[in-house]
Structure 1
Amino acid sequence: MEISVYKYNGEETGRKITLPEGVFTVEPSDHAIYLDIKQFLANQRQGTHKSKERAEIVGSTKKLKKQKGTGTARAGSIKSPIFRGGGRVFGPRPRNYSFKLNKKLKVLARKSALTYKAQDNNITVIEDFSFDEIKTKKYLKMLQDLSVADKKTLLVVADKDNNLLLSSRNVKSAKVITAEQLCTYDVLHADNLLLSESSVSKIENLLN
């Protein structure tokens, strides 16, 4: 699949790049995508939720009323879940929500996500560039020149660029990552995928 290469100011370079078939034109697996995103979101959970059960409530241990002759149900403790201020039945406890996925499945999920983006023509390849200063206005200008300012964008670069990363950090709908940080959730969450020219080969090496 051939795609035009643009400069970061929106101009065409006149060159084209071929997206690797083994990464951008695979048979997509929706189930692999589902599992990978499920794992990603599960790993974001802190799992620190906790409620007190009746054994953990501070209160009197005195029997509330006599056992018989009251005409109402028996009650032995003010800490019972049926009373206001009592413990909670089967309340949440701290736990780890993460789970394991095979590496091959995660690779397939990322390839599937990239394939969907390629099929929808939502991939833009940009000639390698860098910012000589940290300037959010400059990053916004780049998005406008590429006609994606009103969309959620994910820019993938080959190597870490602090000026580029910090310039985009205050832009709510934009995210910058390196090829090693590429994940299924970020690819599908973005409306438009921006790839630096050198990141294409790096992504191919990582996923193959």
Structure 2
Amino acid sequence: MKLPVYTRTGSEAGREVELDDAIFGIEPNDHVIWLDVRSIQAAGRQGTHKTKERGEVAKSRRKLYRQKGTGNARAGDAKSPLRKGGGTIFGPKPHKYSVGVNRKTKQLARRSALAHKLRNDAVRIVENIEMAAPKTSEIATLLSGQSMESKKVLLLTAGRDDVLYRSGRNIPKLTVKDAAQASTLDLMGAAQVLLTEGAVETLTDALRPQGKKTATTAPETSGVETADEA
């Protein structure tokens, strides 16, 4: 699979980038996308909710009134969960919401998310962006040149680029991230994914299935002689 490279102004640069079909051309797996997104969203929950139980309410433990002879239902102290201001029965307690997902599943989910974006023509490759100092206007010009100024855009770079990040952090609907750190939720949440040329290689290395070789190597010869050589 090949995609053309675009300049900052939106015109084609006259060259193409070859995409690895093992990463960008797979059949999307929607179930693993759901698993990974659920894990990411669950990890974002604080889990600090808490209500006071009967033993934690700051009230007297004195019996409110005598057991018999008042005409009222019998009652204990003011901490009773049945009374206003009393403790809570089986209230929420702080706990973690984290859901474990193994590394291979996370990689497959990210590859599936990219495959969905490619099928919807939501992936574009731009030439590498080099900036000496942060300048928001240059990133705004880049987005307008790609006709993406009103879309939710995820810009992926080759490694951490603080200058580029600071240039785009004030632009609404734009997220700048290291390609190797972009999650499934980041990819699925963006309407358009912009990849720099260097980010394609970074993303390919990060999502390459374990054990897949980048180049074929000649098999090693063993020291055992065959019958013909003997």
In the superposition, the TM-score normalised over structure 1's length comes to 0.95
2:176 is the alignment partner of 1:176:
yes
Tell me the alpha carbon deviations over residues 178-206 of structure 1, each in whole angstroms, 9 at most, x when there is no partner: 12212100000000000011111221111
3-state SS in 2 of match to 1:61: coil
Which range moved further: 182-191 or 97-106? 97-106
After superposition, the C-alpha distances for 1:117-151 in whole angstroms (9 at most, x for unaligned) are: 00000001011122222122221121111100100
Q: Distance in 2 between matches of 1:64 and 1:196?
A: 73
Aligned runs of 1:114-129 on 2, under 5 Å? Answer: 114-129=114-129
Structure 1 residue ranges (4+ consecutive) displaced by more than 6 angstroms after TM superposition: none
Q: Does 1:45 align with 2:45?
A: yes
Alignment of structure 1 residues 73-152 onto 2, 5 Å = 73-152=73-152
Q: Secondary structure at the match of 1:59?
A: coil
Contact 2:52 2:91 survives alignment (8 Å): yes
- Matching residue's letter, 1:164: L
Q: In the alignment, what sits opposite 2:166?
A: 166
Aligned to 1:125, what secondary structure does the other structure show? strand
Identity %: 42
Amino acid at match of 1:197: E
Task: Supply the distance in 1 between the matched residues of 2:173 and 2:135 (Cα, whole angstroms).
Answer: 16
2:24 equivalent in structure 1: 24
Correspondence for 2:154: 154
Counterpart position of 1:14: 14
Q: In structure 2, the residue corresponding to 1:39 is in which secondary structure? A: helix
Name the aligned partner's letter for residue 133 of structure 1. A
Task: State the one-letter code of the partner of 1:182.
Answer: A
Task: Determine if contact 2:8/2:141 at 8 Å carries over to the other structure.
Answer: no
Task: State the alpha-carbon separation in 2 of the partners of residues 114 and 73 from structure 1.
Answer: 66
Contact 1:130 1:161 in 2 (8 A): no
Structure 1 unaligned residues grouped into runs of 5+: none
TM-score (norm 2): 0.86
Q: Distance in 2 between matches of 1:104 and 1:28?
A: 14
Q: How many residues are treated as equivalent by the alignment?
A: 208
* Structure 2: stretches of 5+ with no match in the other structure: 209-230
How far the C-alpha of 1:66 sits from its partner, in A, is 2.2
Q: Which residue of 1 aligns with 2:187?
A: 187
Query: Could you tell me how far 1:40 is from its partner in structure 2?
Result: 0.5
- Quote how far apart the aligned CAs of 1:162 are: 1.3
Larger radius of gyration: 2
Deviations 1:87-127 (A, max 9, x none): 11222211111122111111110011000000000001011
Aligned-partner residue type, residue 79 of structure 1: K
**Which residue of 2 is the match for residue 35 of structure 1?**
35
